[in-house]
Amino acid sequence: MAVARLVAAPFPLAAGGGGGGAVASSRVRSPPAAAAPRLAFAPLALRATPRRAVSARAAAEDEVLVSEAADDGGDAEAEAARAVAERVARKQSERRTYLVAAVMSSLGITSMAAAAVYYRFAWQMEGGEIPVTEMVGTFALSVGAAVGMEFWARWAHRALWHASLWHMHESHHRPRDGPFELNDVFAIINAAPAMSLLAYGFFNRGLVPGLCFGAGLGITLFGMAYMFVHDGLVHRRFPVGPIANVPYFRRVAAAHQIHHMDKFDGVPYGLFLGPKELKEVGGTEELEKEIKRRIKRKETLDAIQ
């Protein structure tokens, strides 16, 4: 009977009722036939049902997460597209603003300079006598001043703009926020002596006024050329048309771009003789690489447009 109780104890179906030998033996014999299916298959059924429920719930949650990720990705892409569109629109507006200012100043300065040259030489020849010395001096100093401004700009760029005046010139080496930058003040500073020399030479006669007039004219011509090549071609503040395809100007633009990379201690500091400065410091190979990069970038932009 003790053995029967030990054998019958694990089975739930044999847990009830009184105790006798026949009853005990029936408890021992009957459970295997009735309880075996429950013990063999019931646990599997109990485990399989939650697994299907969990799998279905997990699949549903995965779909929700994927859809949310897709929505987030779409929102991120849309936000990035909006940011790019706003930046492009802002840059186009800045370029238009600077282009208007550049065209108006160029036309104004060019027309005034042309009129000043015409009337000054007309006045010189009023008496029938042509002041050859004064005229030659005026033209010679015009060319000399234009060439000399390149060397002045190189020296001032290195000794002043990247030294004591860096707090102003630094705006040119940072991303520009707006159509103008503090560095543009230097153009006004250089224009002041040019206009003063032109005015003195225009309202006075003689060799010295003629030389002053020529110097002012040369500074003015250099300033206009500098604006179109530096601001237009190099930094793309306004379109410059076909001069971007001139090989020499490509080299000038690439050389100045290397100046902004600080690869050769800031060299070149000049503009129109920048390729020559790079050659002197062993930067010819880097110059050729930059020229190729600029050509490839231009072709890409042309293809997009």
Q: Mention every residue, 6+ apart, whose C-beta is less than 8 A from residue 294.
A: 250, 253, 254, 257
pLDDT confidence of residue 121: 78
pLDDT confidence of residue 10: 43
Run means of pLDDT, 10 residues per run, the chain, 305 residues: 38 41 40 47 43 44 49 70 74 68 69 81 74 88 95 96 95 87 91 92 89 93 91 88 88 95 92 96 94 88 73
* Spatial contact of 217 and 249, defined as CB atoms under 8 Å apart: no
Count of residues in the chain = 305
Instruction: Express each pLDDT in 49-90 by its tens digit.
Output: 344 444 444 445 555 444 554 455 567 788 877 777 776 677
Per-residue DSSP letter, 164: I
pLDDT confidence of residue 45: 44
pLDDT confidence of residue 105: 65
Exposed, middle or buried by CB within 10 Å (0-12, 13-18, 19+), for 268?
A: buried
* Spatial contact of 273 and 225, defined as CB atoms under 8 Å apart: no
Residue with tokens 């050859």: 132
Exposed, middle or buried by CB within 10 Å (0-12, 13-18, 19+), for 35?
A: middle
Predicted TM-score (pTM) of the model is 0.65
Note the Cα 90 to chain centre separation in Å.
13
